[in-house]
Structure 1
Amino acid sequence: MQELKDVASEYSQPFRNLQRELRESWQKIEEFDGGDCDIIIIPSLSLDQQEMQKVPGAYHYEERHLFSLIRLRNPRTRLIYITSEPLHPMIVDYYLQLLPGIPFSHARDRLLLFSTYDASAKSLTQKILERPRLMERIRSSVRPTKSYMVCYNSTPLERELSVKLGIPLWASDPDLLYWGTKSGSRQIFEESGVPYPDGSELVWNVPDLAEATAQLWERQPHLQRIVIKLNEGFSGEGNAILELKSIAPTALAEKAKVIEDCFPNLRFQAAGENWENFSSRIPELGAIAEAFIEGEEKFSPSVQGRIVPSGEVEILSTHDQILGGPDGQIFLGCRFPADESYRIALQELGWKVGQNLAKKGALERFGVDFLAVFTSDGKWDIQAIEINLRKGGTTHPFMALKLLTNGRYERSTGLFYSQQGRPKYYVASDNLKKDRYRGLLPNDLMDIIADNQLHFDSGTGTGTVFHLMGCLSEYGKLGLTSIGNSSQEAEEIYNKVVKVLDRETASDLRFERGSSQSA
């Protein structure tokens, strides 16, 4: 442990010096987005790798940042994109063909691709750090005074890479990571005056978790369910539900023991999770208990923002999240924008959180997840659930929309407008997943897209942009963002894609059955 602290100390001050250079170089949003620079994309999901194993095809999520290639529409921008395994050339070509008004060859010359050729269960950043020759090639490929790094999330690994490359990282200092945990989020909400559910302090062992859960139930005897959360879980995969209806009411002194006996029967949100594994992570990650918010008309909206180098907080978007899993806790996708009846209120709550984070020194992307319940008095009860101090599942679809249309987000309405002044809407998902899609290669997907005219049309500003294409053959899993000129049109475009893929793969299923019978 002391060795880890010494390593963190070694890189902390040089990292802060690099970030200060970044803040001094770009004081305005417009200069930062449109400048002459080299951008190093590190799409590493530097999260707990045991938790990452709950996500099928996790390392293919490095492809979610490929929307960044659209930045090459600026003829002065150069991109360096690094992945664990080489990207399929057709996937790269797909994104470059989306660039409006830029010759393909011109954009391709300004894109450098590097790979670690390592698909092991480590974060990409760790793989890069283990390859000093690769780091030297990356360093020699950029202009040091005109470059910066971007990443999915900022950890001590990204800090070390930034210092060793001598390139500033546009992300929060890893010393601020606590504010993106479940317990850290609750503290920010308290400080910012943002409503949030009743819950417990952070605990590090099962008996204390049982005691904290019992105290929560004692304070809120009407509760039907309590959510048990690993403090550093993500996408709902680290959540579990404790059903209280089956537990007989007892005195507080007895509640903790009864609850602890019930923990092995928790309803886990991640497929294949169990109490033995879940409980083993508590001493390492910590856990909290939180009141489960009930409601017949309940939605899970979120707000996204960024803190620019000058310290200004910018609200970027709002979404209604599409959730799945046993109790609607796992992120599957999103709809943009959030419902008009509460999207403006969401923005204001998100802005309060952003202001607090900015004062603590945070930088770049943040997101805040909420629950909105329609009450009997005709109002929305909006409560904050957690902060994501990183990019998330809503980042890449919104950035794809922004970069493809070159439009603008209007905070007064919570809508995004194309250059022609038309509002834009989309439905997006990382989890269009069916067994029948297994075996589809990127080339096959391109054929299906072309044959059925599913591609994004820059003329109308509508259509579908695909991602996670490398995940398709092995896992039958695909990501997509369907953009329309109304919420209904976006939904129809999304449904058309699903219908076409189902139809195209139906013939594959018939072929498989026929081959099996022949054998």
Structure 2
Amino acid sequence: MHLPTCIGHSVIFSIVDIRAKDLRHSSSTSPSITQETWHSFASPKVSTLIHIPSISLSPLTKAHVTGVETFQERSTYMLAVLKDPSLRLVLALSDRVDETLLYHQLHWLIAIGKLPTDSASRFQLLRVPTTGGQPLAEAILASPAAFSQLRSVVSRGRALLDFWAAGTAENHLANLLECRHTGQPKTVAGSDSKATAKAIFKAAKVQTPDDFGCISTIQDLFRLYHDRYPDLKARGFRNLMIKLNREEGGTGIARLASDGIYRSETALRQALHFDTKTVSLCEFESAMRGSGALVECEVSGRNLRSPSGTLLISANGHVELLATHDQIVDGCAYTGCRFPADIRYRHNVAAQSLLVARECARRGWRGPVSVDFVVDVSINTEEQPELYAIEINARKTATFHPFLWTKFLTDSRLDPRRGELIRHGMKSVYEAREHVAVASQFARGPKEVIRMLQHSGLLFDATTNTGMIPHHLAGVRATGKIGVTAVARTHEHSAALLAACQNALRTTGSGGPRSTSRSFKKTAAR
């Protein structure tokens, strides 16, 4: 049985385009995030949540991303479920991931009163031996000891498996354990390809860039280009995007100028350039033969933004919009986000995301879904800027953990009319970054970063509901970079906090008097 990951009281934004009967409003008496999330499951009531951040990436992405296992550390927000004294949490992590941040956050949350004092006794860490970026589900299936431990937990009854993304291996693991799970059922696992997304956009009647279908070789691209060249010129698009059906983070995207005259396949090959500079043509062609690639017209503009909608689809197909974000991208690679999305298109992002997710639900999709868009805000118009839907991801994307951390720590509720997190009339916003460079002293390990944030007063302060939330510290030794989320009352304040944190992390011997940083935070908050 597939159960939903349900957060919120089916709260969605109040949008002009959506009929009143589609809205369910939140109330001031709505339960906490843990109650919303885990007590909304069907009978029998869940008593143990088993979270497995099994990160399955395409071979091309894994070859060009360092420390894939460390992404598992993003899942420490799951500690929030321990707020409910009747729940136990089992968190699986690769044995290659540093657990320092996890236990720091567990004890920190207890110390600041966000979790009950007995929370540590209801938490269990399951270490799983992994090799070379192996997804956790596959590693558990290959480890008799890890599988036995999980079976022991499940055998106590009323357990639920929760995944980063529910693919083939995750469904197989849940089936062997005879345990319910969240996310995609087996019948649609792995269906969030670029080509499928394009079909869903068209079925939902959501605007999406023109495309020319899928190809599997450079020869296909050469023939397509020459067959459709007059059409390309007539449409006025500058570039074609060749997007691998299976790719993440922009690693599988190539671009081709549409105003060129390519008289041979060799000339066309030489004209291709890749968003990820380290990807070779040979690698790209190999991946294209394996998964195919969608050929799409690139959206151009003087001031492009990359908003997204974050949603959840329940077991019965009900769609709930959690949040909108402005993603911060380098090419097509995600580097951070701001919540909420710009007011100029926030409600349109919400409305279009709901249309897409409802079509996904109609096709059997379940669990977390994100919808990515492109919009040009340089065009002066009294109407909302035009959105183009470009991608769907059926997983807990990188916008997921900053939202859940902020919602939990600030005890905020989503205002369905404004699309903002509100508590006692005060809103909370945030700005997250994934790749913040640190000085050599902080690259020694997570403890040094945590000490700096504590000493400087930049760490999240539960009395003001502002400050920094660190993440992705497990990879700091390998990459010299970490992730952070700045929570504040305004975007100006979050930007100031982020700048102060980046400056402190880049400066050797940083970490001034606590009172100085506290004064800065209070001043910025005003």
Name the TM-score class by shorter chain: 0.7 to 0.9
Choose between structure 1 and 2: higher helix proportion: 1
Decide whether aligned partners of structure 1 residues 281 and 187 sit closer, same or farther in structure 2, where only a CA change above 3 A counts: same
Q: Distance in 2 between matches of 1:332 and 1:285?
A: 25
1:369 aligns with 2:372: yes
- The equivalent of 1:229 in structure 2 is 243
Distance 1:425 1:129 in 2: 40
Partner of 2:215: 203
Q: 1: distance between equivalents of 2:265 and 2:358? A: 38
Q: Which of 429, 452, 463 does residue 425 from structure 1 map onto?
A: 429
Q: CA deviation at 1:176?
A: 1.9
CA distance in structure 2 between the partners assigned to 1:344 and 1:28 by the alignment: 19
2:283 matched residue in structure 1: 277
Residue 482 of structure 1 corresponds to which residue in structure 2? 486
Give the alignment's TM-score, normalised by structure 1: 0.86
How does 1:321-332 map onto structure 2 within 5 Å?
A: 321-324=327-330, 328-332=331-335
**TM-aligned CA distance change 1:276 to 1:335, over 3 Å:** same
Q: Which of 116, 139, 162 pairs up with 1:127?
A: 139
Which of 371, 396, 418 does residue 413 from structure 1 map onto?
418
Q: Within 1, Cα distance between the matches of 2:118 and 2:157?
A: 23
Partner residue, 2:87: 77
**Cα pair distance change 1:281/1:89, threshold 3 Å:** closer
Q: 1:204 to 1:144 in 2, by over 3 A?
A: farther
Equivalence for 2:319: 313
Q: Return the alpha-carbon distance in structure 1 between the equivalents of residues 86 and 287 of structure 2.
A: 47
**Partners of 2:374 and 2:389 within 8 A in 1:** yes
Return 339-348 or 283-292, whichever deviates more: 283-292
SS of match in other structure, 1:300: strand
* In structure 1, C-alpha distance between the alignment counterparts of 2:228 and 2:335, rounded to whole Å: 29
Residue 472 (structure 2) pairs with residue 458 (structure 1): no
Matched positions, count: 476
Residue number in structure 1 paired with 2:389:
384
Code of the aligned partner of 2:418:
T
- 1:442 lines up with 2:452 in the alignment: no
Deviation at 1:211, TM superposition (A): 2.8
Pair 1:291-2:297 in alignment: yes
Q: Flag the 1:55–1:438 CA change in 2: closer, same or farther, 3 A.
A: farther
Could you tell me which of 338, 357, 378 is aligned with 1:335?
338
Distance in 1 between the 2:510 and 2:225 partners? 49
Match of 1:186 in 2: 198
Q: Residue type of the partner of 1:461?
A: N
> Greater relative contact order: 1 or 2 (C-alpha under 8 angstroms, separation 6 or more)?
2
- Specify the alignment match of 2:69 in structure 1: 59
Distance 1:436 1:216 in 2: 53
- 8 Å CA contact 1:227, 1:240 repeated in 2: yes
**Structure 1 residue 49 corresponds to structure 2 residue 54:** no
Judging changes above 3 Å, is the alpha-carbon distance between structure 1 residues 167 and 227 closer, same or farther for their aligned structure 2 residues? same
Equivalent pair of 1:455/1:465 in contact (CA under 8 Å) = yes
**Is 1:495 equivalent to 2:506 in the alignment?**
no
1:516 corresponding residue in structure 2: none
The TM-score, its normalising length taken from structure 2, stands at 0.85
CA apart distance, 1:220? 2.6
Partner of 1:7: none
Distance 1:261 1:174 in 2: 43
Check whether the contact 2:8–2:37 (CA below 8 A) recurs between aligned residues: no
Q: Which runs of 5 or more residues in structure 1 are unaligned?
A: 1-17, 249-254, 508-519
**Contact 1:80–1:111 (8 Å) recurs in 2:** yes
Say if 2:240 and 2:255, in contact at 8 Å, map to a contact too: yes
RMSD over aligned Cα atoms: 2.5
**Same amino acid, percent of matched pairs:** 25
* Amino acid paired to 2:196: G
* 497-506 or 297-306, larger mean C-alpha shift: 497-506
CA distance in 2, matches of 1:187, 1:77: 40
Q: Displacement, 1:234? A: 1.1
Match of 1:50, SS? helix
Task: Please give the per-residue CA displacement for 1:97-133, whole angstroms capped at 9, x wherever unaligned.
Answer: 1255356751111111111233423222111110123
* Partner residue in 2 for 1:108: 120
**Contact residue 46 and residue 125 of structure 1 kept, 8 A:** no
Q: Is the 8 A contact 1:482 1:494 kept in 2?
A: yes
1:515 counterpart residue number: none
Deviation at 1:412, TM superposition (A): 1.5
Contact kept? 2:443, 2:480, Cα under 8 Å:
yes
Q: CA deviation at 1:404?
A: 1.5
**What amino acid is the match of 2:406?**
L
**Partner AA of 1:164 in structure 2:** L
Q: Structure 1 residue 349 and structure 2 residue 359: aligned?
A: no
The answer as to whether partners of 2:154 and 2:179 remain within 8 angstroms in 1 is no
- From the superposition, tell whether residues 89 and 43 of structure 1 become closer, same or farther in structure 2 (CA, over 3 Å): closer
Q: Which amino acid aligns with 1:291?
A: C
Contact 2:54 2:164 in 1 (8 A): yes
SS at match of 1:372: strand
Give how far 1:140 is off: 1.0
| CA–CA separation in structure 1 for the residues paired with 2:116 and 2:129 | 26
Q: Contact 1:64/1:396 (CA < 8 Å) preserved in 2?
A: yes
* Aligned equivalents of 1:296, 1:466: Cα separation in 2: 33
In the alignment, is the contact (CA less than 8 A) between 1:229 and 1:288 conserved in 2?
yes
Q: Name the CA distance, whole Å, in 1 between partners of 2:162 and 2:329.
A: 27
Distance 1:311-1:437 versus aligned 2 partners, 3 A rule: farther
Query: Of 255, 260, 280, which aligns to 1:241?
Result: 255
Take 1:351 and 1:476, find their aligned partners in 2: how far apart are those partners?
Answer: 38
On the 8 A contact 1:438/1:474 being kept in 2, the answer is no
The alpha-carbon deviation at position 53 of structure 1 amounts to 2.4
Give the aligned partner of residue 517 of structure 1.
none
1:399 has 2:404 as partner: yes
AA partner of residue 151 (structure 1): F
Secondary structure in 2 aligned to 1:321? Answer: strand
1:98 to 2:109 alignment: yes
Structure 2 residue identity aligned to 1:98: L
Return closer, same or farther for 1:154/1:170 CA change in 2, 3 Å cut-off.
Answer: same
Change (3 A) 1:372 1:196: same
Q: Deviations over 1:26-56 (max 9, x none)?
A: 9986766243521111111112233222112
Q: CA deviation at 1:184?
A: 0.6
The 1:483–1:202 alpha-carbon spacing in structure 2 relative to 1, beyond 3 Å, is same
Q: State the 1:285 CA deviation.
A: 1.4
- CA deviation map 1:427-474 (0-9, x unaligned): 102221357477331121122112111111111111111111111112
